[in-house]
Structure 1
Amino acid sequence: MTMSVEDVSAALADLSCTDLSDAMDKLAIPGQCLGIMPLDRSFRLVGQAWTLRYGPVGEDPGTVGDYIDDIGPGRVVVLDNQGRLDATVWGDLLTMTASKRGVEGTVIDGVCRDVDRALELSYPIFSRGNWMRTGKDRVQVEATGDPVTVGGVRVEAGDWLVGDGDGVVSVPMARVEEVVAVANNIRDAEERIRREVESGSSLRAARGLVGYHSLQTHASG
């Protein structure tokens, strides 16, 4: 990667999830995390994944994990709870500590609780929803730092997560510069279309100027 981490973060912060989704379609990279949405539409996050995978408890109940004190700025906590809606893996104390430590946000394939705290602290949480029942004695940590699945997308530690009002995308670390370049081109093309329409052009003509209908199409598609 030739861009610094700081440059990548700034570039991604300047793009929307739709820009990035279109770019990944163009590059045939699966990255749109289905069903993972912000608790509040104003929430926005950009950062690199710190991953944890949960599983159901067995004879040894295990724990939900004490990990948050080891995570800081630039990281997004990515929790794979296998899409479970009946047991939470994130709540008030985790939100408070993560916010204090400057963590960029949390993405959960599952649900959270204590929503009011996240809203009060403007701490970005993206999940399948919220419910009050604890995950204690229901789920346990299976692995940290391993690849996880979120909304049907494989997320590896260090991959880039971007979230906004439209949901979450995961950009593979090895291809982030390529995705940023294509996303910028798509965004600029759509901005040109808007300017043309505002100046009196028909949408059909404005789209034709930039080849709109092939912007997101993969070369072999």
Structure 2
Amino acid sequence: MTEPREIVAKTIGDVELSTCALVDVLDGMGVTSAVLPSTLRHHSGRHTLTYGTAYTVSWVEVRKQVSIHQPSPSTWQQVRDFLVPEITDGVGRVYVGGAGELLTHAALAGGMSVTYLLEQIGFEAIVLGGAVRDRAVVEQASRPVVASNFIPTDTQGAYRVATTGTECRIGDVRIVTGDWVFIDGNGTVVIKDEIVLEVLTKAVAMENAEARILAQVRAGRPLHEIVDEGGQI
């Protein structure tokens, strides 16, 4: 049986697909809330297209328990599941952590966890709905790490992991485990599994058409004339 990632790779082929084309297709299909906030930056790895299915980690603020006399879990017990110990093979997957609105004042991961998740578990990329820390390590990662900013503060004592492998939210975008995540230097796009092949097929056709237009522009033709003829830009 052909794996979903192989099907996606075959659909893309050798086309240099960008998230710009994916969003243009999604717009044409009436799909909104697919682009993660523009304040998220690509901090490491290659800037060409990286993709995989999402595996989510949902974070929430730490609140007092029902009984103030009841001992609270240790801060480590509250956050340890962000390392997704249930996952031993991240190949074909993108790690996605979110806390709703961008969490810019505390890091959702750091150098050790980034190294572990990318190099030992094998995730294709890490997407964080907020900050990361340990800049010197993160910027050396061979695969993409997407985050809002660097900050020295971590989440322990202030946030806890609510669920893993279900869903999370980053800004206005809800990401469900199994959704497809596409990352390049332009940004990060989330596409539902049930429409991903349709989107990719249309995006590949669009990229091919735009490559022909670009070739004509480089050959000296005015862009407005080409668009008048073909109706695409």
TM-score, L = length of structure 1: 0.87
Larger Rg: 1 or 2? 2
Q: Which moved more, 1:97-106 or 1:114-123?
A: 114-123
For residue 192 of structure 1, what is the aligned residue in structure 2?
Answer: 212
For residue 56 of structure 1, what is the aligned residue in structure 2?
Answer: 61
For residue 117 of structure 2, what is the aligned residue in structure 1?
Answer: 98
**Sequence identity percentage:** 26
Shift of residue 48 of structure 1?
A: 0.6
Provide the rounded CA distance (Å) in 1 between the counterparts of 2:19 and 2:134. Answer: 26
SS at match of 1:49: strand
Q: Give matches, 1:40-189, under 5 Å.
A: 40=44, 42-44=46-48, 45-59=50-64, 60=72, 63-66=78-81, 67-69=83-85, 70=87, 71-82=89-100, 83-100=102-119, 101-189=121-209
Judging changes above 3 Å, is the alpha-carbon distance between structure 1 residues 197 and 11 closer, same or farther for their aligned structure 2 residues? same
**Is the 8 Å Cα contact of residues 44 and 140 (structure 2) preserved in structure 1?**
no
Provide the rounded CA distance (Å) in 1 between the counterparts of 2:174 and 2:8. Answer: 20
Structure 2 residues without counterparts, runs of 5 or longer:
65-71
Judging changes above 3 Å, is the alpha-carbon distance between structure 1 residues 161 and 10 closer, same or farther for their aligned structure 2 residues? farther
Judging changes above 3 Å, is the alpha-carbon distance between structure 1 residues 34 and 53 closer, same or farther for their aligned structure 2 residues? same
Provide the rounded CA distance (Å) in 2 between the counterparts of 1:134 and 1:3. Answer: 37
Judging changes above 3 Å, is the alpha-carbon distance between structure 1 residues 14 and 8 closer, same or farther for their aligned structure 2 residues? farther
Count of residues in Structure 1 that have an aligned counterpart in Structure 2 = 212
Letter in 1 for 2:42: P
Provide the rounded CA distance (Å) in 1 between the counterparts of 2:142 and 2:8. Answer: 23
For residue 22 of structure 1, what is the aligned residue in structure 2?
Answer: 24
SS at match of 1:195: helix
Over the residues paired in the alignment, what is the CA RMSD in angstroms?
2.1
Provide the rounded CA distance (Å) in 2 between the counterparts of 1:194 and 1:50. Answer: 37
**Is the 8 Å Cα contact of residues 11 and 180 (structure 1) preserved in structure 2?**
yes
Q: Which moved more, 1:167-176 or 1:22-31?
A: 22-31
Structure 1 residues without counterparts, runs of 5 or longer:
214-221
Judging changes above 3 Å, is the alpha-carbon distance between structure 1 residues 123 and 198 closer, same or farther for their aligned structure 2 residues? closer
SS at match of 2:174: strand
**Is the 8 Å Cα contact of residues 18 and 184 (structure 2) preserved in structure 1?**
yes
TM-score, L = length of structure 2: 0.83
- Following superposition, which runs of at least 4 residues in structure 1 exceed 6 angstroms of deviation? none
SS at match of 1:63: helix
Shift of residue 185 of structure 1?
A: 2.0
